[in-house]
Structure 1
Amino acid sequence: MDINPDPYFPAGAADPADRDGPRLRDRLSTRIVASSIVALLVVVSMVCWTLWLSWQLEGAGAAINDTGSLRMRANRVGIELLQRSPDHVLRTRALIATQDDTLARLRRGVPARPLFLPQDTDIRTQFERVALAWQERMHPAAEHALRGETTTTYMAELPHFVDEADRLVRLIEHDNARKTTLLRLSQAVLLAISCAGTLAMIYLLYLWIILPVLRLRDGLSRMAGREFGVRLPVESRDEFGVLAQGFNHMADQLAGLYRDLEARVASKTAQLAAQNRELEALYDMTAFLNEPGDIEALCCGFLQRVRRQFGADGGSVRVIDPDGDKLHLMVSDGLSATLEHDEHCMSINSCFCGQATQQGMIVIRDFRQAGNATAFHCSREGFQGLGVFRIVSGNTVLGSFSLHFRKARALQPAETQLLESLGQHLGVALENRRLGAEARQMAVVQERSLMAQGLHDSIAQGLNYLNLQVQMLEQSANAGALDDVRELVPLLRAGVEESYQDVRELLLNFRARLEQGELLAGVEETIARFRRQTGVAVTLDIAPQAGPPLPPEQQLQVLFILQEALSNVRKHADARHVRVSLSNARDFDLSIEDDGRGYDPAEVSQRGEAHIGLNIMRERAERIHAELRFNARPGQGVRVDLHLPESMRQPA
């Protein structure tokens, strides 16, 4: 950069900023604070507007519920008038009073709830019609009917009142839909303002800070390269203007001090710059490969970064098929559709891309210097240079990636070493994706296996029982044995109810999700549900927590074991009392004890896999590396103990 004249200060003149610094209005902080305040005011205004719309929607939603109740309550009044039960007068008057209260509440609104009708003329007019229809026709007709007169008048007015209430509900819903659209539009506008404000702020920060810093960095870089004639333009009176002037003064002094060291410093600077670029490329690539995403996006991003780093005109990533004899094109960039079609799948020995997977890297500076250059597709496409490098993970070759150059290109040893390292990084990333997918698939398979076992242990057995009872019912019906039919019907009803309870229990278990620290709430909810279903008394003993909370995965398995144990109590124990004890200290302990009929462990062990509920609990305990023990005797109940030692606890 040539020496530029200072646009503000003549040569040799004293700079007032050197003495006092920039004035308040010229300071960079003043501009940043002012811009931030303007952006904050705009955003706060839009947020307040959207909050107001949300409040309006919430109030109108409550109004829809209360307006809909007008129809239901009017119908119930008609039913009470028609049935004329002994206490129908009291119930009818209570319904009428509730109806009057609802109309009054809708008219005045309840801001604290919130509940109010939208401020729309049509809605207000329609509400007055509904209120008038009730007060002048429906209410008096109901009073006449309560005094013993005919209900014909009320029942004749009822359809008209219901139609008017329906129209009011539809009007409120239409207004709500319009406000919902306005809310979404406001949110979109807020998003657009946020994006535009962010871009504007980025641009201003770039203009006020980043650009001067880049200029300063460029000046420092060029000065490090021994360009002591470089000068920065002083284009402002803020801190960066003062800094640029100081830089120019420093450059004048350094030009006289280091003239004899230009050659040596230039060489060192070039080496450091090259190393920095290599480190930046490795860091950027490592950070990208560790980001979540599918394999195709991973390979595409890798290829784009490598092309940009080495200035390649095209490139491709290929993987070896499981048989090891074909090379498939995964992604490409900068290649024609014809070339992609011709090399979509090819033999591993048919081209340089496949040979590199066996021999190592292949670098061709110029195809024209090789014999029969037109035999290769990339050469016929106009590429003169080629570099192919293996994608490896450990000792396994997964494929290759190639860089194509329109002009002859010689890769330096440092560049080839960097490309080989990048190929290893890509191979490790691909292998990690594969292992992660296998782990997720294995977890899904294990959970599905437990679900299938749960279905077999509950619903399948219940349906088999119902099938046998239905066959017996059919035989009894065909034989005309009504006494047998009467005995079988209660059994079928009990079987259906049992299957229904099993289905509800399984659905609740499948939906169970826990975050860190929610185990106690899940245990209490499970026990409360068990009490509602069975009526069995349950005592919950929770020791003071002295250990850290379990991670969500272990919490969920503990909760599943508790649910399965209580399910076994409900189905088989015929118990009157259950005690659940939970202790979370250095070790984690859970016990479930009932006073039911118990079972003979020897008999159950002889059945092998017959009792799937116990096996499910054992598998879940093994999944979190916990110990599960069963203590049971016929007629003396069952005790289930789960022990998770400190050494097997996962970090929360």
Structure 2
Amino acid sequence: MKPIKLCAMIEITKQSLLLQLGIAMTAITLLAFSSMLSSVFIAETLEGHATAINQAGALRMHSYRIASQLNLYIGQERTLTVALQVEQRMSEFSRRLFAPHLEWLLQRHSKLSVGHLYRQIIHHWQQQLEPMLKQALQPASAPMDASDYLAQIDEYVTLINTMVAELEHNSETQIRKLRLIQIISLFLTVVVVIVSMVLLYRRVIIPLQQLLEAAKASRQGHFDWQIDHRGDDELGQLSSAFNLMAQDLARMYDELEIRVQQQTANLERSNRSLELLYNTTRRLNQLPLTAESYQSLLYDIERLSGIGPGTLCLGDSKQQSQQQPALRLASTRPALSGSKEPCPLPDCGHCFLTSATDSATLSIPICDNGQQYGILRLDIPHKEPLHDWQRKLLDTVASHIAMALQRQQQAAQGHILALMEERSTIARELHDSLAQSLSYLKIQVALLKRVFAQSEQNDKAQPIIAELSDGLTSAYRQLRELLTTFRLQLGDGDLKQILQTTLAEFSRHSDTAMSLNYQLGGCPLKPNSEVHLVQIIREALSNIVHHAHATQACVTLNCDTDGIVTATIEDDGIGIPPQSEPQRHHYGMTIMEERAKQLQGVLQLQPSTMGGTCVKLRFKAAL
């Protein structure tokens, strides 16, 4: 049990620096006390030695004085005075022999050689010298030989010298012991102090310096500073706690920096999002909207959201199901090698009819109130996964584009309604004025023809009257066609429905079977462009009905991804006969060319693959 307790105490001592320092201070104190106690003890031991030595020396001197007085007493007459002096000397010797210091020394050293010698001296005095002196001082005694007494004195003094030498030896021995104890105590004290200083330096000073340096480093934000001091004592535990605290602070500081970076990134992302939404709103509210506006918007999306380049196409899934190409409104993609097209997809239906979003591209439908206006297709850089904020931002931008297109369509519808109202007013005025006038002129020409039929100048007048009648008839017919065109209600339906109505009208008034191949898709046309296009098609159909003698006619409209609209009117009639001079009262081709110029397009007249004539119009669709 004792070794276990000792080990436990050692472990407890190792775990407490204060206890170790307390033990060191206790050791130094105990050494000091032991040194002082040993000094006191030895001093107590040596107490009386000097007095005893003095008394012993005095005994020698009194021994010789007694011998001197005795010699005087023997050599002279035995006088009473000398005898009294000898007795006085003997009494003084006895008093000194039995002095308290010598008796106290005898008691303390009774078992040592000093005590034995002291007893011998007493015994020798009492048993030999004192009786011899007393007998010599008796008046009736025989005279004593002084040499016998001197021989006894010498022997007695030798015993006293021996005792004095033993006392001196004992004193020197105790003094040497005291010196040795002082040296050992001083050495142990120095050792304990050195060990304590080393312990204090290694276990206190160095750790405290490291703690101070670590605290300064932590104050400057350097939490990677570690204290090397290890141990189970207080400073060791404090160092471990400080290291753990520094690690926790470093982790918290890193987490705080990460959170600050995240918040900064979120703030920057919010700023970019707000900037993109602001630019989107600003650009989409600037009228008129052009392809450059949408292209700038695509550049803003790529710069502020980090996604792009991209393409903005107009169209819907219904048109794509009919294999109608979408209109590429704007694109920031570079053209593919060997092609002018920036889009790598085989057809537009890949974006509109299927989920074209993958790891490399993102397709966002442009919808508003359930109606699709187009699609926004963007390239994902490095095929990185999209963040929720990016998708939500792009959805918001797409909804703004959809609302802008809707407003544009509503504005176009309003413009069409205003145009139709104006055209209806013009049609009413023409009908009430010019049409009535032409009807009246036709009646007058008929009356004139009847009058000249009874005249002698009938032969000369009839060609003029016939030409005048043909001119009025042609003018009246063109006016009626113009009135019919003005009365077309473009606002009642889309362009396809208007063309279908137009072809049905011409089919009812002729034997020509007419068909429509409409593939404009989401190609936007201005109201004036629709009017010019319908007028050109009506003029071409009118020529087919009145001049081509065709049995079939086909109207084809399509638009490529660059917004180039192509309108083709073909028939299987007799074609265009070669003429040396233009026919009079026929201005259809001239009007068609003028309308083509208004569209900034090109009108071509060429043989048809059906065997008749082909009228082809090409122009750029405008937003």
Common fold by TM > 0.5:
no
User: What TM-score do the two structures reach when normalised by structure 1?
Assistant: 0.31
Larger Rg computed on CA atoms: 2
Q: TM-score, normalised by structure 2?
A: 0.32
